[in-house]
A = this chain, B = another copy of it.
C-alpha cells in the first residue's frame, strides 16, 4: 500500500462511485437497452446514466451499439474485461449484503454512546 496504490484507488473509486456498480450489476451477462437499464435502477437520472455508461465505455468495460432505427435504439453490454470485473466484485458485493446488518448495529451502538448534538427544537 504505497506508491502505485493511487492507481488502484483510482480504479476502486470508479467501482465505488455512485452508480457504476449498479449499472455493471444490471448489465450482468445480458445486453440491455438504455431505457431498460434506467428502469432497473430506481433513483438514477438519465444524465447520470449517460455519464456513467460513457465512463464505463471509455474504460473498455462496456460496449455501446447504436441502431439507426426510428425511434433510436442503443444496446449496452459488458465486455470481456467488464465480465472479469463483475466476477472480481462479487465477493465484495456479497460481503456488503451479508454484513449490512452488523454495520448498522455497530453504527447505532457508536451513536448511542456519543450524545452528538442532542436534538433541540429551534
Chain B residues within an 8 Å CB radius of A95: 11, 84-85, 88-89
A72 to chain B, nearest CB (A): 19
A20 to chain B, nearest CB (A): 9
- Report which of B13, B28, B57, B106 forms a contact with A59, defined as CB distance below 8 A: B106
Q: Are A102 and B81 in contact (CB under 8 A)?
A: yes
Q: How many protomers of this protein does the assembly include?
A: 2
CA distance A99 to B88 in the complex (A): 12
Q: Are B12 and A25 in contact (CB under 8 A)?
A: no
A118 to chain B, nearest CB (A): 18
Any chain B CB within 8 A of the CB of A100? yes
* 16 pairs from A and B in contact (CB 8 Å cutoff): A1-B22, A1-B25, A1-B26, A5-B22, A5-B41, A11-B95, A13-B18, A16-B16, A57-B110, A60-B102, A60-B103, A61-B103, A81-B99, A81-B102, A90-B91, A92-B92
